[in-house]
Structure 1
Amino acid sequence: MEAMNPSLMEQSFIQERIPHRAPFLWLDRILELGTETIRAEKLLPTDLDVFQGHYPDYPIMPGVLLCEAVFQAGALLIGETLRGEQEIKGVPVLTRIIGAKFKREVGPGDTIEIQAALKEKVGPAWFMKGSVRVKDKIAVQVEFACALKG
């Protein structure tokens, strides 16, 4: 992994590489970006709407949204990889969730660290793995595949 310069940490960097936008953008900034790995982070505001309905008396971040953060990091990694090689045709779309493990709860006010890594590229398919950490401990691990669509 290579160190990032400050301009790469900005939202504009992220939004130039993936189509996701608020309120469904789960990456705040990129911490590191290499040829096969990415590390990002997201602060989960205490007033995030999802906490009002996902166990109001015991708010926790839905595991599916934590996985989505990993998928978005993977999509950004794919987009950045393709950026230097060819004209990008389509957007990275999730095609398979191979497995997910939920190990720790994530709640309001937590900052999550998101990591995604390329395992293998077979034709148009990108097989990846990723994780979400909270307070330096694994919260989610997931393996998935993406392909360019559109």
Structure 2
Amino acid sequence: MTEVEKLIPHRPPFLFVDEIVSHEGETLVARRTWRAEEDFYKGHYPNAPITPGVLLSEAVFQTGACLMAKLMAGAAGQGGGVPLLSKVSDIRFRLPVYPGDTVIIEVKRKETIGEFHFLTGLMKNPEGKKIMNVEFAVAWKKPEGQVTTA
């Protein structure tokens, strides 16, 4: 089990953080390589694959979940709580991401008001060019029940 999998409950095929590069105080940096064999590329778009913006955003939010799990001193989903996305604003996409591209994701917690944690996320390529940025908030909640599958 990877460090990321120990921190957040997400699993493939819906895990979009490969590794944590660094964690210092209120900032966490992660890395993700978008693999050409990922199923969503078959439909987005055939013969011209590009990574959907919603999945780029999800990678940032999952990086934020890793940061929050570290800050809240417990693995998300393990009884200590999970970060629930509560607000997304000021999202900007600047460069496309293609199959095979590696991205660096940086998330910082700006402030906490009550149970809400306000974060900023930035995704860039290894050369430092900005791919996207977003402001978002999460609420740290303890699980209230367990979902069962049939």
TM-score over 0.5 (shorter chain): yes
Deviation at 1:89, TM superposition (A): 3.2
1:31 aligned residue: 21
Counterpart of 2:135, as a letter, is E
Counterpart of 2:122, as a letter, is S
Counterpart of 1:28, as a letter, is D
- 1:132 equivalent to 2:132? Answer no
Counterpart of 1:125, as a letter, is F
2:58 aligned residue: 68
Q: 2: CA distance between counterparts of 1:49 and 1:106?
A: 15
Counterpart of 1:93, as a letter, is L
Deviations 1:100-130 (A, max 9, x none): 0000000000001111001111110000000
Q: 2: CA distance between counterparts of 1:134 and 1:61?
A: 14
Report 1:85-104 matches (<5 A): 89-104=80-95
2:34 aligned residue: 44
Report 1:72-83 matches (<5 A): 72-83=62-73
Could you say which structure has the higher helix fraction? Answer: 1
TM-score by length of 2: 0.87
- Percent identical pairs in the alignment equals 41
Q: 2: CA distance between counterparts of 1:134 and 1:108?
A: 13
Counterpart of 2:70, as a letter, is E
Q: 1: CA distance between counterparts of 2:51 and 2:138?
A: 24
Q: Determine if contact 1:30/1:41 at 8 Å carries over to the other structure.
A: yes
Q: 2: CA distance between counterparts of 1:47 and 1:63?
A: 18
Q: 1: CA distance between counterparts of 2:132 and 2:10?
A: 21
Deviation at 1:88, TM superposition (A): 6.1
Aligned CA-pair RMSD: 1.5
